[in-house]
Amino acid sequence: MQKTSQGKTVGARRAAGVDAAPFRRLAPALLMATGAALAWPAQAAEDGPPVLPYRPSVSSPASLPAPGQLEMEVGGLRARDDGARRASLPVLLKLAFNEDWGVLLGGEAWISARAPDSGRQRGIGDLTATLKRALRLDEATVLGLELSAKAPTARDGLGSGKSDYGVNGIYSRDFGRLHLDANLNLQRLGRVDEGAGRLQKGVSASFSLPVAERWGATAELSGTQRHGAGSTAQLLLAAAYTPHSRLAFDVGVAKGLNTRSTDWSMFAGVVFPLANFR
């Protein structure tokens, strides 16, 4: 999935937008109400396949969800950068055809953004479709490859207005209880500033560890580099709560580590099954 620097096109846009205070008050209630309403039928059968969360890290895991199980990830993201404020509802749908192939469809269902030097805007975000291949080497190691294309569905100011294309190589491995997801990706950006390159390189490494029966912790370093645009770097810390195998919640923060990175972002989300086609 493409992700920003929390959410998986690393390097957040400094988009203009509306005052996000009412949006921020409503977002948590909307998130939980949507999750409960959509997830209730699928969760009734708790003996079904467990969910496989891809959020909240920048890194994607190499593995696919259980074949035939349609999973939904929805969250709330609030970012602050040089006086700009941005709140959004990132959404991701995941479906594996079998253990080797699957598709992802994701984007921001709603954005409310404000910048000190421009107008106010709100609306839907860009939409990204991804074809994914997973290759299990052994019980502890999985390789993955993602091919993605972004459609410029967001209005000007909330998105780039151009299509982007990307390829992401993934290495996932269990070291006992510690799990690693490492990503190396390349994106061709459709819209760039004059003198800046179109090819953006990205790298990330996420480490997750169970800390209690239903709790886990994640730490991640990520960054990007592009000719003429400098580099970004980010540290992400998150906690996850899994009341049972078919429902997972997360909450965390991300901090930019240099001047070209988003200053601070906070996020929370939920992962649940929508349907099972098998």
Q: Considering only CA atoms, which of 269, 254, 184, 186 is closest in space to residue 220? A: 254
**Other Cβ atoms closer than 10 A to 278:** 8
Cα–Cα distance for residue pair 227/182, rounded to 1 Å: 23
CB 102 within 8 A of CB 170: no
Report whether pLDDT(80) > 50: yes
Runs of H (alpha helix) within 154-231: none
Report whether pLDDT(255) > 50: yes
Report whether pLDDT(217) > 80: yes
Average pLDDT, the chain: 87
Q: What integer pLDDT is reported at residue 30 of this predicted model? A: 54
Chain segment 86-102, per-residue pLDDT in tens? 999 999 999 999 999 99
User: What is the end-to-end Cα distance of the chain in Å, rounded?
Assistant: 24
Q: Considering only CA atoms, which of 263, 261, 260, 241 is closest in space to residue 250? A: 241
Q: What integer pLDDT is reported at residue 120 of this predicted model? A: 76
Higher pLDDT, 34 or 180: 180
Q: Considering only CA atoms, which of 57, 73, 52, 56 is closest in space to residue 202? A: 57
**Other Cβ atoms closer than 10 A to 265:** 24
CATH of the domain at 236: 2.40.160.40
Q: Which domain holds residue 26?
A: 3-276
From 157-166, 212-221, 266-275, the region with the lowest mean pLDDT: 157-166
pLDDT class of 43 with cuts at 50, 70, 90: low
pLDDT class of 28 with cuts at 50, 70, 90: low
Chain segment 229-253, per-residue pLDDT in tens? 989 999 999 999 999 999 999 999 9
Q: What integer pLDDT is reported at residue 90 of this predicted model? A: 96
Q: What integer pLDDT is reported at residue 40 of this predicted model? A: 54
Torsion-angle region of 158 (φ positive above 0: left; ψ -120 to 50: alpha; else: beta): alpha
Position of tokens 């999973």? 71
Per the structure, how many domains does the chain have? 1
Cα–Cα distance for residue pair 260/232, rounded to 1 Å: 6
Q: What integer pLDDT is reported at residue 265 of this predicted model? A: 95
pLDDT class of 11 with cuts at 50, 70, 90: very low
Quote the pTM value: 0.85
